[in-house]
A and B are shown apart, each in its own frame.
Chain A
Amino acid sequence: MAIDKPYLDIPGTTVFDADRSRQGYWLNQFCMSLMKADNRERFKSDEAGYLDEWPMTHDQKQAVLARDMNRMISLGGNIYFLAKIGATDGKSFQQMAASMTGMTEDEYRDMMVAGGRSPEGNRYVGESTGASRDDGAPE
Chain B
Amino acid sequence: MSARISASVFTSHVPAIGAALDLGKTTEPYWQPLFAGYEQSKAWFADHTPDAIVLVYNDHATAFSLEMIPTFAIGTAASFDVADEGWGPRPVPRVIGHPALAAHIAQSVIQQDFDLTIVNQMDVDHGLTVPLSLMCGQPDAWPCPVIPIAVNVVHYPVPSGRRCFNLGQAIRRAVESYDDDLNVQIWGTGGMSHQLQGPRAGLINSGFDHAFLDELIASPAELADKPHVEYIREAGSEGIELVMWLIARGAMSDVAGGPPPTVRHRFYHVPASNTAVGHLILEN
Q: How far is the CB of A85 from chain B (nearest CB, A)?
A: 8
User: Taking the complex as formed, is A37 at the interface, i.e. its CB lies under 8 A from any CB of chain B?
Assistant: yes
In the complex, the answer to whether B232 meets A97 with C-beta atoms within 8 Å is no
Alpha-carbon distance between A34 and B67 when the two chains are bound, in angstroms: 15
Alpha-carbon distance between A11 and B237 when the two chains are bound, in angstroms: 11
Alpha-carbon distance between A73 and B237 when the two chains are bound, in angstroms: 13
In the complex, the answer to whether B84 meets A37 with C-beta atoms within 8 Å is yes
Chain B 51-83 per-residue mask, 1 if CB under 8 angstroms from chain A, else 0: 000000000111001110000000000000001
User: Taking the complex as formed, is B284 at the interface, i.e. its CB lies under 8 A from any CB of chain A?
Assistant: no
Residues of A within 8 A of B206 (CB): 115
User: Taking the complex as formed, is B199 at the interface, i.e. its CB lies under 8 A from any CB of chain A?
Assistant: yes
In the complex, the answer to whether B154 meets A70 with C-beta atoms within 8 Å is no
Q: How far is the CB of A27 from chain B (nearest CB, A)?
A: 10
In the complex, the answer to whether A102 meets B270 with C-beta atoms within 8 Å is no
| Closest B residue by C-beta to A84 | B86
Residues of A within 8 A of B84 (CB): 35-37
| Closest B residue by C-beta to A99 | B201
Q: How far is the CB of A46 from chain B (nearest CB, A)?
A: 19
Known: A28-B66, A84-B86, A88-B86. A14 touches B233 (CB 8 A): no
Known: A21-B66, A80-B154, A92-B273. A32 touches B61 (CB 8 A): yes
Chain A 1-13 per-residue mask, 1 if CB under 8 angstroms from chain B, else 0: 0000011001111
In the complex, the answer to whether A116 meets B271 with C-beta atoms within 8 Å is yes
Alpha-carbon distance between A87 and B198 when the two chains are bound, in angstroms: 18
In the complex, the answer to whether B237 meets A15 with C-beta atoms within 8 Å is yes
Name A25's contact: one of B66, B86, B238 (CB within 8 Å): B66
| Closest B residue by C-beta to A120 | B205
User: Taking the complex as formed, is B202 at the interface, i.e. its CB lies under 8 A from any CB of chain A?
Assistant: yes
User: Taking the complex as formed, is B85 at the interface, i.e. its CB lies under 8 A from any CB of chain A?
Assistant: yes
User: Taking the complex as formed, is A54 at the interface, i.e. its CB lies under 8 A from any CB of chain B?
Assistant: no
Residues of A within 8 A of B202 (CB): 97-98, 101, 108, 111-112, 116-117, 136
Chain A 29-68 per-residue mask, 1 if CB under 8 angstroms from chain B, else 0: 1011011110010000000000000000000000000000
Q: How far is the CB of B14 from chain A (nearest CB, A)?
A: 8
Residues of B within 8 A of A137 (CB): 199-200
Alpha-carbon distance between A75 and B238 when the two chains are bound, in angstroms: 19
Name A7's contact: one of B85, B88, B229 (CB within 8 Å): B229
User: Taking the complex as formed, is B157 at the interface, i.e. its CB lies under 8 A from any CB of chain A?
Assistant: yes
The count of residues in chain A whose C-beta lies closer than 8 Å to any C-beta of chain B is: 58
Alpha-carbon distance between A87 and B215 when the two chains are bound, in angstroms: 37
Name B199's contact: one of A15, A32, A70, A81 (CB within 8 Å): A70
User: Taking the complex as formed, is B196 at the interface, i.e. its CB lies under 8 A from any CB of chain A?
Assistant: yes
Alpha-carbon distance between A34 and B88 when the two chains are bound, in angstroms: 11
Q: How far is the CB of B263 from chain A (nearest CB, A)?
A: 25
Interface residues of A in 85-135 (CB under 8 A from B): 86-88, 92-94, 96-98, 100-102, 108, 111-113, 115-119, 122-124
Residues of B within 8 A of A86 (CB): 86
Residues of B within 8 A of A100 (CB): 197-199, 201
Q: How far is the CB of A77 from chain B (nearest CB, A)?
A: 9
Alpha-carbon distance between A115 and B209 when the two chains are bound, in angstroms: 13
In the complex, the answer to whether A94 meets B199 with C-beta atoms within 8 Å is no
In the complex, the answer to whether A97 meets B87 with C-beta atoms within 8 Å is no
Name A79's contact: one of B88, B197, B229 (CB within 8 Å): B197
Alpha-carbon distance between A117 and B87 when the two chains are bound, in angstroms: 27
Name A35's contact: one of B15, B62, B195, B201 (CB within 8 Å): B62
Q: How far is the CB of A136 from chain B (nearest CB, A)?
A: 7
Chain B 202-236 per-residue mask, 1 if CB under 8 angstroms from chain A, else 0: 11111110000000000000000001110011101
Residues of A within 8 A of B157 (CB): 17
Residues of A within 8 A of B160 (CB): none
Residues of B within 8 A of A112 (CB): 202, 204, 270-271, 273-274
Known: A12-B198, A35-B85, A94-B273. A78 touches B154 (CB 8 A): yes
